[in-house]
């Protein structure tokens, strides 16, 4: 991996966490236009990020208790 690919890799990761500057976006766009390996890595990272967000949302939904579960827990707790 050369210097430009390392820079592009950092920018691909950074853009998931923050807005890139115009200069950074241009640099990344030009590099990805020319480098198929980095373009593939950028796609893979974007896909992984999306899948992790979706799974995290599912885990939040799975963690919610339905009315019956809440009732059973309330019955098992000592009175206040």
Domain ranges of the chain: 3-76
C-beta of residue 7 within 8 angstroms of C-beta of residue 24: no
Helix axes 3-17, 22-34, angle to 10 degrees: 130
Which of 52, 15, 53 has the alpha carbon at shortest distance from 32?
15
pLDDT at 34 over 90: yes
Q: What percent of the chain has pLDDT over 90?
A: 61
Provide mean pLDDT across the span 30-56.
94
Give the tokens for residue 16.
Answer: 């998931």
C-beta of residue 9 within 8 angstroms of C-beta of residue 38: yes
pLDDT at 18 over 90: yes
Which segment of 15-19, 44-48, 63-67 scores lowest on mean pLDDT? Answer: 63-67
pLDDT at res. 62:
66
User: Of residues 61 and 50, which shows the higher confidence score?
Assistant: 50
- pLDDT tier at 69, thresholds 50, 70, 90: confident
């Amino acid at each position: 991996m050369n210097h430009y690919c390392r820079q592009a890799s950092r920018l691909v990761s950074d853009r998931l966490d923050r807005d890139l500057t115009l200069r950074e976006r241009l640099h990344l766009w030009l590099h990805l236009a020319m480098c198929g390996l980095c373009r593939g890595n950028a796609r893979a990272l974007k896909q992984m990020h999306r899948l992790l967000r979706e799974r995290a949302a599912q885990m939040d939904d799975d963690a919610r208790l339905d009315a019956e579960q809440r009732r059973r827990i309330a019955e098992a707790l000592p009175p206040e």
